[in-house]
């Protein structure tokens, strides 16, 4: 008897979950159909009803949906377009959409398929590298770019992308070598500034040389990154006054550049100019009130001034904005003792 009751209970629960799942699927389907039947999608939806095997119609509607941030609904159209006609353009957009909606495993499978189908399309390997990064597969991404570079050692984009990956993996020397190679092949500002930033982090004075060369050609006086990178170099080499000047140059060109305020404040803090540092960090909070670093450094200023209650308040705010902010958590414990 107990076995009979148990079997029936399992059956009832299974039917219940199946029913709930069907209702949820039906609800999503109804929402999707409602959106597709209204402008600006209704015209192309009508065309699809008349020509249900036209891959390009599904692709066009998917593009419209993506432009309106309706990526989940767009995915069905990209999939249908791909099933009807496997071309490179559809493959790229379908893979990108899968990545956007968090289906990295499906995106990887599709991209590997596209690489086989379209071996002369380098964009698929670049996209695959990005998806590998998103899914935490840094080693696979680096191996992918290595395979590209074995076939074409002058592929500056591959050197640059590999450099970014190595930087993320904390292989600074490897990243510098990759960026150097990219710059030697294609000396554009984007690549040079990435190299300069790593030079600044490693206290290499060539960071300043690169930035000054770029600034000399900035006739419109619009660039900000060269000043910021010089500021990082001067701060890392304990030339704090020179660092402050560079960060002020950033702020004068873009007063909303939060990182410049924070780095300027850190330079002032290390000079033990706590009042000026506090004011600078407060400006950072005014510009962007969701940056945990700004609150953390305000806490550091209050802690330096022995105002532990105020320090605790700002450390707490920092941890609320960033649950993984270990330095703020440790500081909060320290001032609460």
DSSP readout, 234-249? Answer: HHHTT-HHHHHHHHHH
Cis (ω within 30 of 0) for the bond into 40? yes
- Residue 245 neighbours by CB distance under 10 Å: 16
Find out whether 38 and 47 touch, Cβ atoms under 8 Å: no
CA Rg value for the chain: 27
Each residue's pLDDT tens digit, 221-274: 999 999 999 999 999 999 999 999 999 999 999 999 999 999 999 999 999 999
What pTM was estimated for this model as a whole?
0.74
pLDDT number for residue 28: 61
Cα separation, 284 vs 278, whole angstroms: 10
Terminal Cα-to-Cα distance of the chain (whole angstroms): 62
Instruction: Give the residue among 195, 220, 222, 219 at the shortest CA–CA distance from 209.
Output: 195
- Residue 84 CB partners (closer than 8 Å, separation 6+): 53, 54, 55, 58
The secondary structure of residue 202, as a DSSP letter, is T
pLDDT number for residue 29: 64
Find out whether 189 and 214 touch, Cβ atoms under 8 Å: yes
pLDDT number for residue 337: 80
Cα separation, 179 vs 196, whole angstroms: 9
Cα separation, 70 vs 63, whole angstroms: 10
pLDDT number for residue 34: 84
297-327 core/surface letters (b: 16 or more CB in 10 A; e: else): bbbbbbbeeeeeebbbbbbbbbbebbeebee
Predicted confidence pLDDT, tens digits, the chain (337 residues):
444 444 454 444 444 444 444 443 445 666 688 899 899 999 999 999 999 999 999 999 999 999 999 999 999 999 999 999 999 999 999 999 999 999 999 999 999 999 999 988 888 988 898 898 888 888 898 998 898 899 899 999 889 989 998 998 889 999 999 999 999 999 999 999 999 999 999 999 999 999 999 999 999 999 999 999 999 999 999 999 999 999 999 999 999 999 999 999 999 999 999 999 999 999 999 999 999 999 999 999 999 999 999 999 999 999 999 999 999 999 999 999 8
Pinpoint the alpha helices (H) of 169-239. 172-185, 189-201, 206-216, 225-236
Dihedral sign computed on CA atoms, order 312, 318, 321, 325: negative
Cα separation, 265 vs 250, whole angstroms: 13
Q: Which two tokens stand for residue 17?
A: 């979950």
pLDDT number for residue 32: 81
């Amino acid at each position: 008897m107990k076995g009979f009751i148990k079997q029936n209970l399992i059956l009832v629960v299974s039917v219940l979950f199946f029913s709930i799942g069907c209702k949820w699927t039906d609800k999503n389907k109804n929402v999707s159909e409602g959106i597709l039947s209204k402008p600006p999608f209704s015209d192309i939806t009508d065309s699809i009803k008349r020509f249900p095997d036209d891959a390009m119609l599904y692709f066009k509607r998917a593009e419209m949906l993506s432009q309106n941030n309706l990526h989940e609904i767009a995915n069905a159209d990209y999939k249908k377009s791909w099933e009807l006609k496997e071309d490179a353009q559809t493959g790229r957009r379908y893979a990108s959409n899968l990545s956007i909606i968090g289906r990295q495993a499906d995106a990887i499978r599709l991209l590997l398929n596209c690489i086989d189908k379209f071996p002369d399309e380098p964009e698929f390997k670049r996209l695959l590298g990005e998806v590998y990064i998103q899914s935490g597969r840094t080693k696979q991404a680096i191996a992918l770019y290595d395979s590209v570079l074995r076939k074409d050692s002058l592929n500056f984009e591959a050197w640059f992308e590999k450099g970014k990956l190595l930087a993320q993996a904390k292989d600074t020397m490897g990243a510098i070598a990759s960026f150097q190679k990219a710059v030697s092949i294609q000396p554009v500002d984007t690549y040079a500034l990435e190299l300069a930033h790593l030079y600044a982090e490693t206290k290499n004075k060539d960071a300043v040389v690169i930035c000054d060369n770029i600034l000399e050609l900035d006739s419109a006086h619009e660039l900000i990154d060269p000043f910021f990178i010089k500021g990082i170099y001067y701060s890392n080499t304990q030339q704090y006054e020179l660092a402050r000047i560079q960060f002020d140059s950033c702020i004068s060109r873009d007063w909303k550049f939060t990182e410049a305020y924070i780095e300027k404040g850190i330079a002032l803090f290390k000079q033990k100019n706590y009042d000026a540092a506090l004011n600078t960090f407060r400006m950072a909070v005014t510009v962007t009130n969701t940056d945990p670093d700004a609150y953390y450094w305000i806490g550091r200023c209050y802690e330096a001034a022995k105002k532990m209650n105020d320090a605790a308040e700002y450390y707490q705010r920092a941890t609320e904005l960033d649950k993984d902010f270990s330095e703020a958590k440790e500081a909060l414990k320290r001032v609460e003792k």
